[in-house]
Structure 1
Amino acid sequence: MDYSAWKLFIDAAELGSLSKAAAAYRTTQPHISRQISALEQECGGRLFQRTGRGVVLTELGKRITPKVRAWLASTDQLANDIRTNSGTPIGTVRLGILPSTAHPLISTLYYKLKEHYPLVQLMVREGQGAQLETWLEKGEVDLAILYRQNPGSPDGDIYLVETGTYLVGAKGDPLLSNATIPFSALHKLPLVSFCRPSSWRDRLDQLCISQGITLNIILEADSLGLQTHIVANGGVYGLLGPYAISAAPERAILQSSRIVNPDVLRHLALAMSRHGELTLACRTVMQLIQEIAKTGVTDHGFL
């Protein structure tokens, strides 16, 4: 297999445009088109469907993409291992994260890698739970940090930490004057929440049914910054974990109370893609994430 040709295939698929791929490779679009056409002839089928806006993968392209990604990653790591021979971690680790874990968890990870494993490079992508799951399933990320509903996972996820859920509002809101607030207080409150599909939203629906209350979601937004901005202006509330609160740009003017009766617990977990094998660089990143979570996390955010 021609490594450079398949690398071009993956890059073109991610960019969604042969002209953008040409710009990235500092060549012309006809040259890229010829390379893709030659690859399609080898495969015996079309890999891309040309559209007015660029290119999209055909069914054949979608089926082989995860395997191609895994093969490229394995080939890269093999080349790195051959060059080093010393067992030193080297290579790129693709990490999917929730926006709330970007800082200081991932920023701390970056500085630790820079200090102790400078040959490991992070490629970090932010997304919500469903998107992170899709990236894992397609092999577009090697690892992902996401919330699970319970610490036990049939997929071999690594449990990192358990956190509560908080009702968040504007600073000085009398509803949030106490450290805790009962779940029943959420009844018909104007709320902003993350978009569906969302296992978190599904769980909230189940809790509402069991507790006999109704949620009043007036805005769905996957942007943590947008949620906290609207909440900080008053009159609307959010349901967030402690890391999202500590990461919020408006955290200085937010107020929160932990939801109890019942407690609404979340479990932060480290998940792995089922495509390809874990490289030494991936295993190193996994170990560091666990150490940071174990030593630097409390229920009020990262220390």
Structure 2
Amino acid sequence: MDFKQLKALITVAEVGSVTRAAELLHLVQPAVTRQIRTLEEELGVSLFERTRQGMRPTDAGAIMVERARRALNELERARAEVRPAPGAVTGIVTVGLLESTTDLLAEPLVTTLTRAHPGIDLRLITAYSGHLQQWLDDGDLDLSLLYNMDSTPSLNARPLVREHLWVVAPASAGLRADEPVPFAEAAAHPLVMPASGHSLRVLIDAGAARADVDMNVAAQTNSMRVQKQLVRAGHGWTVLPGVGIADDITDGTLSAAPLTEPDVWRSIVLATPRSGRTPPAVEAVAHELVQQIRSAVAQGSWLTAEVLGTDAD
């Protein structure tokens, strides 16, 4: 099993065609076919099956593709870390950002790191907390923002910030930041909610139970942007973290107020794997991400948020 075989395996799986894979790898088709066949003979299993839609990995092939991709990523990471660059921090760092934080944090983080550490190859992945935690456990992320979690046997969780959840309504509702809305009042409207099982939905459901109210759920979605779009269109109100609605309030497309009776908060942590050495590039990115969050809270860009912890970086 060698690098060329693994590269051929991944490429065929991605494009579904030996011919197209050969073009992308700058090889002749028989060479790619031979690499796949040799790998299958070594493993004693079939890695692909031919379908009308093209070459599709078998169950064994899917496992090999996933593992091969990770192995090649680690080799690429090692190459970047050991490449001579006196005095510079270099390497590949893959960061997970919660969807609600991307508008506030992504661009400033990239700008700062480009200036301070041009040798770092930064890769940003955005998703919901549950997906990000799974990818962090699987080794696909180096660090990630997560919420409402403690340290686990596999992950360190450093508390960063906690923020109030807000009631969000169309601009015509006239909600105000200085006039909190009781949960019962919000629940009197049709609600556009995160899908059941989503971590934010768990917090909202717990708040509804504490308020002893039933929610009239008009729609559910796994996208914060869709939540806001449906609210703008008049399908109901919703509940979101303040960091995800600051721009909408500023431009007047939505109105919002802190949720109260009861207050509902979420806490955000910076999670990193416990095992293995932490490369300098990962440490540098973690430091800059923490600084961006603290700066956003200090400047008031992160609505009703409180910094957690004062330890030095």
TM-score, normalized by the shorter chain, greater than 0.5 = yes
User: Could you say which TM-score interval applies, normalised by the shorter chain?
Assistant: 0.7 to 0.9
CA contact (8 A) 2:174 2:255 kept: no
User: Helix, strand or coil: the match of 1:172?
Assistant: helix
The residue that corresponds to 1:301 in the other structure is: 301
The one-letter code matched in structure 1 to 2:261 is N
Q: Does 1:287 align with 2:287?
A: yes
The residue that corresponds to 2:239 in the other structure is: 239
| Alignment partners' CA distance in 2, 1:207 and 1:302 | 22
The one-letter code matched in structure 2 to 1:182 is P
The residue that corresponds to 2:310 in the other structure is: none
| Alignment partners' CA distance in 2, 1:37 and 1:268 | 48
Equivalences, count: 300
The residue that corresponds to 2:151 in the other structure is: 153
The residue that corresponds to 1:17 in the other structure is: 16
Return 5+ residue gaps in structure 1 as ranges: none
Q: Does 1:127 align with 2:127?
A: yes
- State the TM-score, normalizing by the size of structure 2: 0.79
CA contact (8 A) 2:166 2:241 kept: yes
Displacement of 1:121 after TM fit?
1.5
The one-letter code matched in structure 1 to 2:142 is D
Displacement of 1:196 after TM fit?
3.6
The one-letter code matched in structure 2 to 1:162 is R
User: Helix, strand or coil: the match of 2:256?
Assistant: strand
Higher mean displacement: 192-201 or 28-37: 28-37
Return 5+ residue gaps in structure 2 as ranges: 304-313
> Equivalences for 1:38-53 in 2 at 5 Å?
38-48=38-48, 51-53=51-53
Change beyond 3 A, Cα 1:45–1:136: farther
CA contact (8 A) 1:70 1:276 kept: no
Q: Does 1:220 align with 2:226?
A: no
The one-letter code matched in structure 2 to 1:140 is D
Change beyond 3 A, Cα 1:39–1:235: same
The residue that corresponds to 2:254 in the other structure is: 254
| Alignment partners' CA distance in 2, 1:231 and 1:202 | 20
Displacement of 1:70 after TM fit?
4.9
- State the TM-score, normalizing by the size of structure 1: 0.81
| Alignment partners' CA distance in 1, 2:249 and 2:45 | 49
CA contact (8 A) 1:18 1:32 kept: no
User: Helix, strand or coil: the match of 2:133?
Assistant: helix
The residue that corresponds to 1:83 in the other structure is: 83
Displacement of 1:227 after TM fit?
2.0
| Alignment partners' CA distance in 2, 1:35 and 1:219 | 49
User: Helix, strand or coil: the match of 1:193?
Assistant: strand
The residue that corresponds to 1:193 in the other structure is: 193
Change beyond 3 A, Cα 1:176–1:78: closer
| Alignment partners' CA distance in 2, 1:25 and 1:201 | 45
Divergent runs of 4+, >6 A: none
Change beyond 3 A, Cα 1:58–1:181: same
The residue that corresponds to 1:2 in the other structure is: 2
Q: Does 1:169 align with 2:169?
A: yes
| Alignment partners' CA distance in 1, 2:4 and 2:160 | 38
The residue that corresponds to 2:140 in the other structure is: 140
Q: Does 1:111 align with 2:111?
A: yes
The residue that corresponds to 2:230 in the other structure is: 230
| Alignment partners' CA distance in 2, 1:267 and 1:227 | 21
User: Helix, strand or coil: the match of 2:284?
Assistant: helix
The percent of aligned pairs where both chains have the same amino acid is 26
| Alignment partners' CA distance in 2, 1:160 and 1:9 | 41
Structure having greater relative contact order (Cα 8 Å, sep ≥ 6): 1
Larger Rg: 2
| Alignment partners' CA distance in 1, 2:198 and 2:103 | 23
Deviation track 1:49-87 (CA, whole Å, cap 9, x = no partner) reads 555445565554555666545543443333233322646
CA RMSD of aligned residues (A): 3.3
CA contact (8 A) 1:66 1:139 kept: no
| Alignment partners' CA distance in 1, 2:44 and 2:230 | 53
Change beyond 3 A, Cα 1:122–1:80: closer
Deviation track 1:6-45 (CA, whole Å, cap 9, x = no partner) reads 34445555x3634665564355666544433322333333
| Alignment partners' CA distance in 1, 2:53 and 2:159 | 42
Higher mean displacement: 243-252 or 202-211: 243-252
| Alignment partners' CA distance in 1, 2:266 and 2:30 | 50
The one-letter code matched in structure 1 to 2:151 is S
